[in-house]
Amino acid sequence: MAKVVVVTSGKGGVGKTTSTAALGAALAQNGERVVVVDFDVGLRNLDLIMGAERRVVFDMINVIQGDAKLTQALIRDKRLENLMLLPASQTRDKDALTSEGVAKVIAELREKFDWVLCDSPAGIERGASLAMHHADIAIVVTNPEVSSVRDSDRIIGMLDSKTERAERGERIEKHLLLTRYDPVRAERGDMLKVEDVLDILSIPLLGIIPESQEVLRASNVGSPVTLNAPISAPARAYLDAVRRLRGETVDMTVPSDKVGLVARLFGRRAA
Amino acid sequence: MSPRMQVRVRGRSFMAFVIAPEPPLQIWLSHLDAQMLRSPGFFETRPVVIDLAAVGPDDHGTATLLTELEQRGMSVIDVENARDLPGADPWRRRLVGGRETGPVEPTIEQAQVTPVSAPPPLPEDCSLLLDEPVRSGQSVLFLKGDVTVVGAVSSGAEILAGGSIHIYGALRGRAIAGALGNPHARIFCQRFEAELVSIDGYYRTADDIDPSLHGRAVEIRLVDEAISISVFG
């Protein structure tokens, strides 16, 4: 049974697209059939992060409007044959996304893949609400700072009221992915601590991705960090997050690039 | 230094009647007169909004229409769709936020104001219990009584209650108790980090609150027309 996951945050620039690519690749590295879907119509980026920007022919809007078949728009990853990308249109705006069209595309993707990862645009408007509408699971990407946390809180409220599952009276599974975390600065009080964020958002923690140059380096070469530098700290954090997403119990740690200095945050499993 | 005076502002809603005159206006007025004769006092205690959508500047009697209506004892509070009709300007108020409630039928027997046909009263809860945290951007409005939240009220969220507010968790947003005018309403919370608290129209923002109360369990009540916050338990 396919799982539709929305990667969302409310605030822009917190790492939604990077995380979608890294998690999608990590799931595929585990043998799952994965598609990553860019919902950021007009401001697409996922194709760049995945290194597929020079192979985009058709996009989701073409599929919705019937100009192309879904199979024509899907782009297979060069490194992993079980990882696909459905790009957004760069020349259109979010009004071109119709809710019937999105429903049809998602239903078709559910049949072809084990995981459908939807990269939500920032904001709380149409694009974001369509990206979350069909999700079974939400990954809320948050930076450890107050504005990001408050925007995430707003998004969680929308997930609990505006999604298809919420409208049916069911629950949507929600996970927190804390990105750009710097244990040293958090300890100094320059950023929110993990406990503070969890206390405010009160949803289970999926992973803590440390701030790292590797993430930027991976973006620049158009490769998800889990593929580009699989033993780097952020890659290990994403791989741990994916194991948790698949139901494994993994101790919550913040991987570090300094060998032998694995900062153990909690002895217990978080929230 | 004298204590800061807060001017109280309270809300109260009245239902306004909306009538839409149609040309020819003389005939429309005579129908109105006949109707008012059957139900005297129907318009007497109600604010009236005149919808001029159907009336053009060339229709006979446009300039004096609103005066005619006032002479019949109507309390005209606004005109809608007036465009640049002659004589409409003195009544223009640009009221906003109206909500349609459907047609109101005057009855011939009843001389007094006819209330809007209300559904038979159901036994209603006079308290609201929320089992989920109230998230940023969410607004909970419950004017019939108390609101209890089992969970936190986030920064940027608000609770408006006719009665008291009880929060079993952190209050980080706004809590407005006694919203319809109840000085006896109170606010309780397990962890006080509020942006604003208000009882019966009196309010305090985070800036005006003693920082030593931050994070404590508190009870908030109105004492001598001032918000009083004390550590609870």
- First and final CA of chain B: distance in angstroms? 32
What dotted CATH number matches B127-231? Answer: 2.160.20.70
* Structure confidence at residue B1 (pLDDT): 54
Note the pTM of the prediction, 2 decimals: 0.69
Determine whether the interchain pair A157/B156 forms a contact, defined as Cβ–Cβ distance below 8 Å.
Answer: no
The owner of tokens 């499993």 is A269
Q: Whole-angstrom Cα distance, residue B98 to residue A38?
A: 41
Question: How much is the pLDDT for B48?
Answer: 84
pLDDT at B107 (0 to 100): 47
CB contact under 8 A, A153 and B132: no
Q: How many helices (H) and strands (E) does chain A have?
A: 13, 10
What pLDDT, on the 0 to 100 scale, is given for residue B126?
A: 87
Partner-chain contact A150 B136, CB within 8 Å:
yes
Q: Residue B182 — pLDDT band, cuts 50, 70, 90? A: very high
Burial of A246 (0-12, 13-18, 19+ CB in 10 A): middle
CA distance A157 to chain B (A): 5
Mean pLDDT over residues A104-131, rounded? 96
pLDDT digits 0-9 by tens, A184-197:
888 898 899 999 99
Check CB contact under 8 Å for A154 and B155. no
- Residues on A contacting B at a C-beta cutoff of 8 Å: 124, 150-151, 153-154, 156-157, 160, 199-200, 202
Out of B132, B156, B172, the one facing A160 most closely (by C-beta) is B132
* Higher-confidence position of A255 and B95: A255
pLDDT (mean) for A260-266: 47
Q: Report residue A101's pLDDT band, with 50, 70 and 90 as the boundaries.
A: very high
Is B230's pLDDT higher than 80? yes
CATH of the structural domain B12-80, one choice from 3.20.20.150, 3.90.420.10, 1.20.140.10, 3.30.70.260: 3.30.70.260
What average pLDDT does the structure give for chain A? 92
Option in B133, B137, B156 nearest A202 (CB) = B133
Q: How confident is the model at residue A8 (pLDDT cuts 50, 70, 90)?
A: very high
The mean per-residue pLDDT over the stretch A151-172 comes to 94
Are the Cβ atoms of A157 and B136 closer than 8 angstroms? Answer: yes
What is the mean pLDDT of the segment spanning A123-138? 95
- For the cut 60, the answer to whether the pLDDT of residue A202 exceeds it is yes
pLDDT tens string B91-118: 677 777 676 766 766 544 443 444 445 5
CA distances B220 to A146, B142, B216, B227, Å, are 26, 19, 12, 7
- What percent of chain A lies above the pLDDT cut of 70? 95
Which H helix or E strand runs over A4? strand A3-8
> Would you list the domain boundaries of chain B?
12-80, 127-231
Residue A97 has pLDDT above 50, yes or no: yes
